[in-house]
Structure 1
Amino acid sequence: MDILKDRAIWIVVVVMFIAGAMYMVIVDPSRVDKMDNIVERDDERIADVTETNELIDRIDKKLIGTKKHLQILRDEFDSHLKAYDSKVDSVNNAFTKVDLSINKIIRDMKDKFSEVQDQLEELEDEISGVKTQTKRDSRAIKKEISDIKDAIKEINEQLE
């Protein structure tokens, strides 16, 4: 039985050896080829990932540059807006001053026109008073002239 056991062990060992050799010759090369293909595909994917990462880095740098540029533009816009607001305020103040000056001039003109109108009315009253006085004086002078004419006529009649 010992021999039988030894033969059985040897047969199992030989079958295992043949199975191992068969595995190494037939199955393992296809597995190795598949693994090599997997490695190649992994290398391609790694290259694609690296390229994608480089593109993302470039885009990030562009975005950072654009962000800085936009910030500079925003700062300039804010400063221009502040300058514009201050100029608009100063222009508004100037227009307000001009409006106040125009209103004051109009008010002064109305006052002056009222004064001139009052003076014209006073002058008309004075002129009408002077006319009346002149008419009275003219009548008085005419009366005196006629009295003098009458006196001259009397004197001429007496002399004749």
Structure 2
Amino acid sequence: MTEIYERYGRLTYGYLARTLGDPAQAEDVQQQVFLEVWQRGPTFDPARASAATWIMTIARSRAVDHLRKRIPEPRDPAGSLAVLDEQSAASPVEELHEQWRIAALLAELPDEEAEVLRMRFHLNLSQSEIAERTGIALGTVKTRMARALERLRVELEYEEVAP
């Protein structure tokens, strides 16, 4: 459990802190997340998803649960449904979860492949600029990027199919 926390603790805490907007609440929810990881560990199936994806899914669920508890109960039942609909329709929580999910998937890639993708999509560098900045041949940059994108595509498709 110590190894799992050392590997994924910063990732989950960062996600929870940004999602919940309060470091203390993020710590509380993170404790719930890792308690659940420990309790449900025997049911984890690496054939269905990576450990990072599984843990981040638990973190997202606990964050949503926590946020829903903070919503004051409206007097009008129709108003209650409207509040939940607002949260469920491409909410910032969902967008942030997607960003962290992709970050977790990138962490599973070989470092040299993940780095070219980060430079391309986070720094908005062209393949030529990446080659120039890193001193890696342009063909190698293209190969690494193609390999990394293929690995991500396979993992994302697998997640969609896995129940």
After TM superposition, the score normalised by the length of structure 2 is: 0.19
Q: Determine which structure has more spread, i.e. the larger CA radius of gyration.
A: 1
Instruction: Please identify which structure carries the higher helix content.
Output: 1
